[in-house]
A and B are shown apart, each in its own frame.
Chain A
């Protein structure tokens, strides 16, 4: 899973109750702070594990770090396809997309007043690469150098057209190298053991963004305050309070005005709200089912006929109806907003007769097949329990007997990542907004492919296609290759793309400029 909610609902329930109790205090805080500046209260189901930009890899952390740390390039509003200048005023690349040169602005300052230079960029990127944390793969094959104080060159081992969108991600947030190094930071090879700056970065801002961290928690509340030394225009809110609150309480809070923004409501939950703004769209989160292709895990799920039976047994229109307004069927594993995504006409359609015929070719005799998922979890308003229940019911209609295995997220992720589950229900949010994120993860022998027991040697044609698209610099050819990659996946792979979830943001009328973004959900710095 690319971006995964790790906060437990049960813990969030407690936090939600506390949030209700403390709502009056928040209101008081809001009104008292209003004299010096506006306070924004956001309800969210926490999933961040850290705010160290080079370690965080969840969208909750993305949202917070986007406000604290600047990047070379960034995105505006809900458009995550076109990087725009941020610390880098401009950039250019060579013809085969192996060398990128970024020209930095000279006015940028960290929150302690230190000038931001290319040395900080190189340090941050080196730390990202060498820490070997969750997002380190983003720097795989890339090397950053600084020929002068305000120029950064990124060299790729092989053509990589995704570099501009990658460096816009919060994982590429630029830290104050001197400050971080003074507090245990290490950016060279060996940083995986020598870097000790995470705790420091969870308590102190070392960025140049519009906000600074003033309170940190993984379970209750994160507070951001405006950076008085920000090099750009001061943000509209002097303080942002982000609280860990369950979906149900979020609906109450935003309706009452206790919270200004609710991040995790489902379309159905918004139906009963009034007097609020609902921003609805299609998320880039793709939900998928997989049927483990490793015969040692299951001789049944690894049978391509069984995988095909599952694929054709599902009623995709009912799945999108279940997910609610805004949801669409995922025609392929690459979401609709990205280059090379499949058209709705290419999507798999339910065919019960074909599903039964394929199932009859297998040795399956109706025994229960375990479907592992995050028990009690929800993402973008979709409950894993409910979704799995609907899928189970649809597959039962053709004779596939699923045994639902709701599992606490930590344990579920462990077995998922170990590739030991017979079937799994998960979602994938883009680590970087480019189709390469999918070809580099969902192929045979790739990260998610291996989780689904899909060995590198399983589909040589698809592997060949993945290797070809990785070095293709012509956008049209790349798009065609991505389409073919997905058609191949839909025809013969352990993956069954299900839906793209709806993207719903609910805000009070006072909040202006809110837009959903696939990387950081909301750009806090754009809010008015």
Chain B
């Protein structure tokens, strides 16, 4: 039985997650200092296997794969976080409006949410990204478009369960506005679960974004983006280093986000925490 599950020290996976994520953030920040060469410079022979000069080998136009993996963190990590924040904001606003006002507004917003959820995420994201053109900006927009409904449904449920609570009713009777009720009275109750969901979804967002780049709907050449690099590797099966290293980068970053999400859930979600204590 765990006596203090709130302590990150007692959760090794959380420590691992935070450590990996910290390393990747540091790599992203200090990429120009760490990377052995310019990620788009074609300085080496084509398709060289890992060697003493190019630890991760070179790609089909003679670029250093290690440098590209390092610089890839500067694209993938910020964009993954950005898309999670955007999806969280959009989903929270829509869910809060639907849950608080109820009636036809709730019905209309939730049916729209259902429509978006009815599409397989990757297919809808592909369609949107393809329609808008192959750009990372468009890929982020596409992922946000398929990611927000999860937040909306969660927030709506939380608002529905809290909006008639005595403390909210008392606040309204004292003359609090709708805005105050939502942002001051209800927000503390929904922010924890929303953050937990965001942390858990960050990994999914990163996978979806990389997936779009893999399909040629995200990063444009010559950008060093992990998904696009894996795609290049898929066209050269026998040159394993092309796909393995960016693939490992995606794997570790997604794993770190998932570990972090689990830890946050343990800390911020009282029901899970209680279950763990028992």
CB proximity of B108 to chain A, nearest CB, Å: 35
- Which of B216, B222, B232 interacts with A392 by CB under 8 Å? B222
Cα(A307)–Cα(B256), bound, Å? 50
Complex contact A393–B222 (CB within 8 A): yes
Q: A375-B134, A383-B60, A393-B42 are in contact. Are A388 and B236 (CB under 8 A)?
A: no
A376 contact set on B, CB distance < 8 A: 216
Whether A393 contacts B40 by the Cβ 8 Å rule is yes
Question: Is A404 within 8 A of B221, CB to CB?
Answer: yes
* CB-defined contacts of A383 to chain B, threshold 8 Å: 60, 235
Q: Is B61 an interface residue (CB 8 A)?
A: yes
Best-buried of B40, B46, B221 by chain A (most CB within 10 Å): B221
Q: Give the residues in chain A near B215, CB-CB below 8 Å.
A: 10
Is the beta-carbon distance between A404 and B46 smaller than 8 angstroms?
A: no
Residues of B within 8 A of A408 (CB): 130, 216
Interface stretch (choices A221-229, A246-254, A435-443, A449-457): A246-254
- Which residues of A377-401 have CB atoms within 8 Å of chain B's CB atoms? 378, 383, 385-386, 388-390, 392-393
A269 at interface, CB cutoff 8 A: yes
Q: How distant is the Cα of A151 from the Cα of B222 in the complex, in angstroms?
A: 58
CB within 8 Å for A389 and B221 given contacts A268-B47, A322-B46: yes
Given A251-B238, A407-B134, check contact A389 B216 (CB 8 Å).
Answer: no
Cβ of B220 within 8 Å of any chain A Cβ, yes or no, is yes
Nearest B residue (CB) for A272: B238
Interface string of B67-107 (1 = CB under 8 A from A): 00000000000000000000000000000000000000000
Contact A404 B220 (CB under 8 A): yes
CB 8 Å contact bits of B140-165 with A (1 = contact, 0 = none): 00000000000000000000000000
Judged by a CB distance under 8 angstroms, whether A406 is at the interface is yes
Does A406 contact B221, Cβ atoms closer than 8 Å? yes
Q: Mark A222-248, 1 if CB is under 8 A from B, else 0.
A: 000000000000000000000000111
Q: CA A10 – CA B237 in complex, angstroms?
A: 16
B146-200 contacts to A (CB < 8 Å) = none
Chain B residues, CB < 8 A from A156: none
Question: Knowing A322-B61, A383-B60, A407-B134 touch, does A248 contact B220 (C-beta < 8 A)?
Answer: no
Inter-chain contact B216/A386, CB cutoff 8 Å: no
How many residues of B sit at the interface, in one of the four size bands? Answer: 20 to 34
Residues on B with beta carbons closer than 8 Å to the beta carbon of A388: 221
Write out, one digit per residue, whether chain A residues 24-44 have a CB within 8 A of any chain B CB (1) or not (0): 000000000000000000000
A385 touches B237 (CB 8 A): no
Complex Cα–Cα for A408 and B126 (A): 13
Interface readout for B30-59 with A: 1 if CB under 8 Å, 0 if not? Answer: 000000000011100011000000000000
B216 contacts A375, C-beta separation under 8 Å: yes
Contacts of B40 in A (CB 8 A): 389, 393
Q: Is B234 an interface residue, CB under 8 A from the partner?
A: yes
- Complex contacts, B232 vs chain A, CB 8 Å: 385
| Alpha-carbon gap, A406 to B215, bound state (A) | 12
A13 an interface residue at 8 Å Cβ cutoff? yes
Partner of A251, one of B42, B47, B237: B237
Chain A residues packing against B (C-beta within 8 Å): 9-10, 13, 246-249, 251-252, 268-269, 272, 322, 375-376, 378, 383, 385-386, 388-390, 392-393, 404-408
A-B contact pairs, 19 of them (CB 8 A): A13-B234, A248-B234, A248-B237, A268-B46, A268-B60, A269-B236, A272-B238, A322-B46, A375-B216, A378-B235, A383-B60, A385-B232, A389-B61, A393-B40, A393-B42, A404-B220, A404-B221, A406-B220, A407-B134
List 17 other contacts, CB 8 Å, given A378-B235, A386-B60, A389-B42: A246-B235, A248-B234, A251-B238, A322-B61, A375-B216, A376-B216, A383-B60, A385-B232, A386-B61, A389-B40, A389-B221, A392-B221, A392-B222, A404-B220, A405-B220, A406-B216, A407-B134
